[in-house]
Structure 1
Amino acid sequence: MTSKATPAASPAPVADVSAVIEETARLLAANYVFPEVADRLAALLRGRLEEGAYDTADPAELGARVTADLQSENGDLHLRLKFHAERLLEDGDQVDLTSLRREFAASLGGVPRVELLRGGVTLLELAPMLFRLAWAAEPLSAALTLVARADTLILDLRDTVGGDPDTVAFVCSHLLDERTHLNTQYWRAGDRYEQYWTLPHVPGARFGGAKPVYVLTSGRTFSGGEELTYNLQQLGRAVVVGETTRGGAHPRDGWAVHPHLEASIPVGRAINPISGTNWEGTGVHPDVSCPADRALDHALHLANGEPAPCA
């Protein structure tokens, strides 16, 4: 007997486009970190709705059209009406974590690769993101304890496309000796500032603050991956090798406005204590520019005092 796979159900069409746009505009006005921009964008969405710009029942197409308008004023890449092929939670609050948990498991907790290279250099890849610390502390601690014995560390963030500020601080805590102020987040809710510091203690061994660290970046490196890169670069703790990153410095929350559409809205902004600013819109510029696919080889040559192949 031959079994047949059940075809995946098609995403539910958008039966009430007006309701989706109105809820997105409401969430935007209530939560976006820049209130004046939020009001203008909410008005833009409502105006575009009246013009018929969103006349489609296809959730993927609607998400793409609305996202283009949301990013039209300041290019905020975290500001999106994001399409999900899998159905989101029904309660209209935070989006479903099922796919995120699947990514976490598939990437071994966000640590897909640890490798000893030549010359006492160790490679640690963190991808696809720096997952929330409640999940990631165990695999990260194991990996960071293992690489603590290396002479030189290459931290591969070329495919790190997001992350949690607490997890960024956890990683930095293994690469610095002194208690260090890493970043400050401004949150619109409560009009408050929150500082992020390295931890006074870590559960395993520290690589420490004296041995060389290289960070690999690409044009894909984004958000939490960029914060980790920027923190280490501003502190003079690492040499960044690769490409300029995407440029997203605004932490976001997400709300389901349709079974397959998430309103992704930045609710805060990063403020580095050294630069007084962040990498929003500009990306993190490497110290040593090199195509992403050659960055590892380049960093390995630098670490071993050899002529750089990308020079």
Structure 2
Amino acid sequence: MYFSSLMIKVVLFIVLVVVAACFGQGPAAGADMPVDAATRNAVIAELREDLKANYVFPEVAEKTAGMLEKNRADGKYDAITSGKAFAEALTADLQAATNDRHLRVRFSADALPVRQPQAAPTEAEKIKHRNNVLNINAGFETVERLRGNIGYIKLNGFSDPEIGKETVEAAMNFIANTEALIIDLRQNGGGSPEMVALISSYLFGDKPVHLNSLYWRAGDRTEEFWTKPEVKGRKYGDKPVFVLTAKRTFSAGEEFTYNLKNLKRATIIGETTGGGAHPGGMFRLGDHFSAFISTGRAISPITKTNWEGTGVEPDVKVTKEEAFKTAYVMAIEHLATKPENADLKDAIAELIGEIKKNPAKH
């Protein structure tokens, strides 16, 4: 998922989805229920209207809405009586028509809450949101110092920065004295572009750097994201950074990767990422269905485009299983290039041999 703080009416719902993904489960995980023709027709009608009113590309929205109506009229969905199967069928048709990996319909066996458009979250929702972010440690799964004084951060999501900023500070302070940093995004499904900007700020100097822009259809506006000249804790300086990717790396995880690659701040190692560059939000389609609809698109200040449909190509293409070992070896090899380590070349070579033979489990 890829969302912005501007999406107030849906952001809490999205965070709950991201949290469930991080834990690998959610409410009524795996549960299903039957759907009838009236339900299918109502879901399609609401989905068509939401697409036309909100999807980032209006012409594509009109064509896609027309496709859905034609499919309904032709009876394509008539034999589907499972809620989960209906959501999957709609998702497949939406993505085939638009090549937009964010567009999808979700089914929930539990009734979805009703929220008025642009309604502010209640205090109870704010507390639940905060607890959910803290329960996944703001996305920071692992922070450690590897042999050879190499930092390693396994980051599974980009959470709300207002809640996660202290965790970011603690993580970056912990690895501040390392010689190189490996950031593992192989299981990162996305999150907040504001958190992308905050973490990126630790990897650049005092001069603000334009990372990315998001164009939003609503209001025909563009929002820019820059690094912060000052952060809490210590910045990492210009030391080497390696980012690990997989096909599962998606959305805001891809933005972080794309930004650092094009700014030549990190070496990307692993697999081509999932290919989702359109932020948006969840829209309720009745009691048991919702749709993630892309309401904006990313625009790189460097490439003037984004990674939608193509993913981010790594600098060093290896399988996700080989990515950590490859990055670790490259980080250690960097140590050998430093003049002050001239008398450690034999020890460094020995460590590289050990890593290649018996890499740590990451």
Q: What TM-score do the two structures reach when normalised by structure 2?
A: 0.77
Which runs of no fewer than 5 residues in structure 2 stay unpaired?
1-27, 334-351, 358-362
Distance 1:17 1:28, change over 3 A: same
Among 261, 273, 283, the residue aligned to 1:255: 283
Q: CA RMSD in A?
A: 2.5
Among 90, 102, 107, the residue aligned to 1:83: 107
Quick one: distance in 1 between partners of 2:67 and 2:189?
29
Quick one: distance in 2 between partners of 1:172 and 1:8?
34
Which runs of no fewer than 5 residues in structure 1 stay unpaired?
1-6
Q: Give the partner amino acid of 1:71.
A: Q
Please state if 1:288 is matched with 2:316.
yes
Residue 154 of structure 1: aligned partner: 182
Alignment length, in residue pairs? Answer: 302
| CA displacement at 1:86 relative to structure 2 | 4.5
| CA displacement at 1:17 relative to structure 2 | 1.5
Residue 3 of structure 1: aligned partner: none
Among 74, 86, 92, the residue aligned to 1:68: 92
Distance 1:8 1:235, change over 3 A: closer
Quick one: distance in 1 between partners of 2:126 and 2:67?
31
Quick one: distance in 1 between partners of 2:171 and 2:87?
38
Residue 58 of structure 1: aligned partner: 82
Quick one: distance in 2 between partners of 1:84 and 1:101?
22
Residue 126 of structure 1: aligned partner: 155
Percent of aligned pairs with the same residue? Answer: 42
Residue 209 of structure 2: aligned partner: 180
Please state if 1:245 is matched with 2:273.
yes
Is the CA contact 1:219–1:245 (under 8 Å) kept in the aligned structure 2? yes
Residue 28 of structure 1: aligned partner: 51
Please state if 1:215 is matched with 2:238.
no
SS of the residue corresponding to residue 73 of structure 1 reads helix
SS of the residue corresponding to residue 179 of structure 1 reads coil
Residue 261 of structure 2: aligned partner: 233
Is the CA contact 1:12–1:259 (under 8 Å) kept in the aligned structure 2? no
Quick one: distance in 1 between partners of 2:307 and 2:175?
28
Quick one: distance in 1 between partners of 2:161 and 2:190?
13
| CA displacement at 1:132 relative to structure 2 | 2.0
Structure with a larger share of its residues in helix: 2
SS of the residue corresponding to residue 214 of structure 1 reads strand
Quick one: distance in 2 between partners of 1:140 and 1:38?
38
Among 47, 50, 64, the residue aligned to 2:70: 47
| CA displacement at 1:9 relative to structure 2 | 10
Distance 1:102 1:290, change over 3 A: farther
Q: 1:163-208: per-residue Cα shift (whole Å, max 9, x none)?
A: 1111100010010002100001110001111111011221221112
Bigger mean CA offset, 266-275 vs 134-143: 134-143
Is the CA contact 2:130–2:163 (under 8 Å) kept in the aligned structure 1? no
Among 290, 293, 298, the residue aligned to 1:270: 298
Quick one: distance in 2 between partners of 1:57 and 1:102?
36
| CA displacement at 1:50 relative to structure 2 | 1.2
SS of the residue corresponding to residue 98 of structure 2 reads coil
| CA displacement at 1:54 relative to structure 2 | 2.1
